[in-house]
Chain A
Amino acid sequence: MADERFEPKIIAFLCNWCSYRAADLAGTARIKYEPNIRMLRVMCSGRVDPSFVLKAFALGADGVMIAGCHPGECHYLEQNYKTMRRFSMLKHTLKAMGMEDDRVRLQWASAAEGVLLAGAINEMIEQVRALGPLDWPKNWSENGKIDEAIEQLVEEHAEAMEVPV
């Protein structure tokens, strides 16, 4: 059992224009990377709602990658800067929840950077493998706090969203 290697599950959000094409290119160029990553296409990295990341963790992912066009090269001109902003807030939140830094990663990859993307994927898989399983759903269920926590989050969210008249 002990010598069985931990195989992390990583969810990646790739923007349609640069990083998804980088993944296409990695394929066309037959650049090999580990199969622990499962990719989703979004139109822009700016579409990645922090709740997507939380959802992935809540469903059992061990790591999440967000990949987009390089700053200044966004297909939508400047939306990846918003991703950047959100990402630092997300990281801050996750840290407060006790999560290790390496479990989330923001990766820039242009459509020409298949090698770079594949390298980043492998690197992240290694880092998350070293951290071990996150197992959020299980950990939460065991101490019976999950429903309570969700309710509290919903309330807090509603309160925070009250717009003063």
Chain B
Amino acid sequence: MAERVGVYICHCGSNIAGKVDVENVSQWAGEELDNVVVSRDYEFMCSSLGQELIEEDIKNEGLTRVVVGACSPHLHEKTFRKACSNAGLNPYLCQMASLREQVSWVTEDETLATAKSKAMISGAVKRVLLHEELEPTEVPVNPHSLVVGGGIAGIQTALELANSGNPVFLVEREPSIGGHMAQFDKTFPTLDCSACILTPNMSDVSSHPNITLLAYSEVEDVSGFIGNFHVRIRKKARYVIEEDCTGCGICIEKCPKKVLDNVFEAGIGYRKSIYRPFPQAVPKYPVIDTESCIYFDRGTCKACEKFCPTNAIDFEQKDTYIDIDVGNIILATGYDTFDSRKIPQYGYGRLANVFTSLEFERLCNASGPTDGKILLRDGVTTPKSVAIIHCVGSRDTRFNAHCSAVCCMSALKFGHLVIEKTGAEVHSFYTDMRPTFKDYEEFYHRLLEEGMHFTRGRVAEVTDAARQPGEEGKLIIQVEDTLIGRQRRIPVDMVILMTALEPKPDAREVGLKFGISCSMAGWFTERHPKLDPVATMTDGIFIAGACQGPKDIPASVSQGAAAAARVLGMIMKGAVEIEPVVATIHEERCSGCRICNTLCPFNAIDYVEDKMVSVINQALCKGCGTCVAACPAQAISGAHYSNDQIFAEIEGLLFDVVQGNGSKPVVEEPEAVPA
């Protein structure tokens, strides 16, 4: 039976019809293209009326194939596939031609746009004739989930999932969960104490029966696919036996070695060699830093072991490996801050009283090294004037083109804290003030009223070279005030650099491990920037928080909860459908050469020794088709992207050339019998 194809050309209002003569294309397709029995144009094919048009024609005209010339298949392929299946046609017997993104929006000339549209419709019709019915496969979803990263986004995700009654593994690289939020003093714009709102959630995590917390651990290896991932986790040796440790902290007290804490205290405070990053750390167990520990260096000391009341110190402890099976993985690996030393004219690391924003957070924090007193680097002097420089490493094409999103608000928060705690003059040097979101603008106005000074301009230099009276012993900010168009020199005691948020340095590596991609800058790429910001291109892997891009606490929490909701949806359904676009090896044609085996990065191809052929595990196959192209015996076929389908599409796309130059087609087709 000859296939009966329906062709539908969408006007998309004037988006397509404004450039392409849609009536002409549709009429031409109906008259000139083989097997086309219905050809229509319609104002909005994606509307319910447009879809009904297709459904009616399938039922009344007996269509066996559908071609829709409209927008990109990334937008509405699902819509039209669904329309087909509503009318009882297998959804994979539908093909789209992107007349909007690839023709009307990018072509100047109307005649040429119409001609190109015809070629694209011709390609789609030729191809769709060879489409096969495909059925998505269903795989069960393991209700266990893995959350990677124990910052606020990861904590939120883990709690949402666990509270719904599903088991969660939470992996954190550092000795304690809490992330950057645990380092902060206050949160904007409410000035809530950061620790006060975070620590209850942290202890919920540690006591939750559904959460297995694996702190001081890293994911080593991930295999499997949506619903069925196998993950190997390396639990780094703490040199403390968790089962025996009561968290009393005597070991920390007795440890004779003090070292600079570059992680939690941001390099302005000290910790011991055996330490907990902060008093409320979760889990409560300390960890020995072997780099600085006297015993690991010289083989003597063991003060911690001597004083431990429960004999929980074990210097022989080794890293252990834990293998878990999970259905979904949420990455909430967070961000890093820009290294201010890359901008030497701001003097960080050279001028003592230039601080980074993270250092200042610790300085303000009541549990920080100065007990919350805002002091200069000498540890005694209270500053009388403070400069806050915005956009350090952000909105600067030399380093990061992006806006770090949180710094304007943090700067306002710092301004408030300085005024409140010291009464000092505060100058903000901003590029643009961006207090977006709820109550942020109001906070900005509050600071204006509190007397914080705002100067619009990018600071040229921070220097200690006094040129004018009153500048001696001060840090001088050299800046062009762009609102009055004048250079200014403002002497201050302390400078705070609002450092940019940057992707983690190993984000690319981590992405590769989980099979997801990063943007050029290194942020994880979401499936759709507007409509699917938590899913990734790899099914079953989600992202939440600042690993996807700079964002503040409420945004991270929302994304964490959203990712949990997406995962829960799948857990509740119990199964997921896997796209049937996969490769299959035809045993009788396979010579067992094994070329394909090494090509598959997902290890989906196995060699069967006794049959001497290779087979593809369809649940692992992601459908890239690389093996299909590589098979020298053409024993592998790729569903929905078969050689024949692609050849047909090429032929269709080149219909005018194929007909025009008088050559016979490479594949002889039987002469059409006149009706």
Contact = CB atoms under 8 A, between A and B. Distances in A.
A149 to B, nearest CB: 11
A40 interface: yes
Contacts of B599: 79, 82
A135 interface: yes
Contacts of A32: 106-108
A94 interface: no
A60 B652 CA distance: 12
A11 B654 CA distance: 8
A46 B626 contact: yes
B649 interface: yes
Interface stretch (A23-31, A99-107, A124-132): A23-31
B515 interface: yes
Nearest to A9: B657
A47 B625 contact: yes
Contact of A141 (B102, B512, B656, B663): B663
B573 interface: no
Interface residues on chain B, size class: 35 or more
A11 B647 CA distance: 12
B518 A46 contact: no
Interface in A8-41: 9, 11, 17, 20-21, 23-24, 26-28, 30-35, 38-41
Interface residues on chain A, size class: 35 or more
Contacts of B601: 76-79
Contacts of A28: 101, 105
B113 A59 contact: no
Given A46-B629, A78-B601, A35 B109 contact: yes
A65 interface: no
Interface in A31-69: 31-35, 38-44, 46-52, 55-56, 58-61, 69
Given A35-B113, A161-B633, A43 B624 contact: yes
Interface in B441-490: none
A27 B101 contact: yes
A73 interface: yes
A19 to B, nearest CB: 12
Interface in B617-640: 622-626, 628-630, 632-633, 638
A86 interface: yes
Contacts of A23: 72, 98, 101-102
Given A48-B629, A161-B632, A59 B658 contact: yes
Given A40-B646, A138-B662, A163-B591, A47 B628 contact: yes
A9 B512 CA distance: 37
B592 interface: yes
A153 B113 CA distance: 38
A112 interface: yes
A47 B627 CA distance: 8
Contacts of A141: 662-664
A79 B653 contact: no
B98 A49 contact: no
Contacts of A55: 647, 650, 666
A82 B123 contact: no
B106 A59 contact: no
A75 B527 CA distance: 11
A150 B663 CA distance: 15
Contacts of B665: 59
A47 B653 contact: no
Contact of A47 (B518, B626, B663, B666): B626
A82 B101 contact: no
A140 B665 CA distance: 12
Contact of B626 (A60, A73, A76): A76
B132 interface: no
Interface in A87-118: 110-112, 118
Nearest to A29: B105
A60 B119 contact: no
Contacts of B112: 35
B288 interface: no
A110 B665 CA distance: 36
A35 B72 contact: no
Interface in B88-139: 98, 100-103, 105-109, 112-113, 115-116, 119-120, 123
Nearest to A41: B73
A76 B624 contact: yes
Nearest to A78: B601
B413 to A, nearest CB: 32
Contacts of A118: 106
A82 to B, nearest CB: 5
A49 B650 CA distance: 13
A136 to B, nearest CB: 9
B519 interface: yes
Contacts of B650: 11, 40, 52, 55-56, 59, 61
A113 to B, nearest CB: 9
Contacts of A150: 666
A46 B624 contact: yes
Nearest to A79: B626
B628 A35 contact: no
B105 A47 contact: no
B74 A24 contact: yes
Nearest to B599: A82
Given A21-B74, A43-B581, A60 B658 contact: yes
A30 B15 CA distance: 11
B286 to A, nearest CB: 39
B102 A39 contact: yes
A35 B591 contact: no
A150 B593 CA distance: 25
Contacts of A52: 643, 646-647, 650
Given A76-B624, A137-B661, A24 B106 contact: no
Contacts of B102: 23, 27, 39
A42 B74 contact: no
Given A43-B624, A47-B641, A35 B103 contact: yes
A52 B642 CA distance: 11
A34 B525 CA distance: 30
A76 B599 CA distance: 11
26 contacts: A9-B657, A23-B101, A27-B106, A28-B101, A35-B106, A42-B641, A43-B641, A44-B625, A46-B629, A47-B625, A47-B638, A55-B650, A59-B650, A59-B657, A60-B654, A60-B660, A61-B650, A73-B518, A76-B624, A77-B515, A78-B601, A79-B599, A79-B626, A112-B519, A138-B662, A161-B633
Given A38-B653, A49-B643, A160-B632, 15 more contacts: A27-B72, A32-B108, A40-B646, A40-B649, A43-B623, A55-B666, A59-B658, A72-B508, A73-B517, A75-B517, A77-B512, A110-B519, A138-B663, A141-B663, A163-B593
For the complex of A and B, the 7 pairs showing the least CB-CB separation, nearest first, are A27-B101, A47-B625, A46-B626, A137-B663, A60-B657, A44-B624, A49-B629
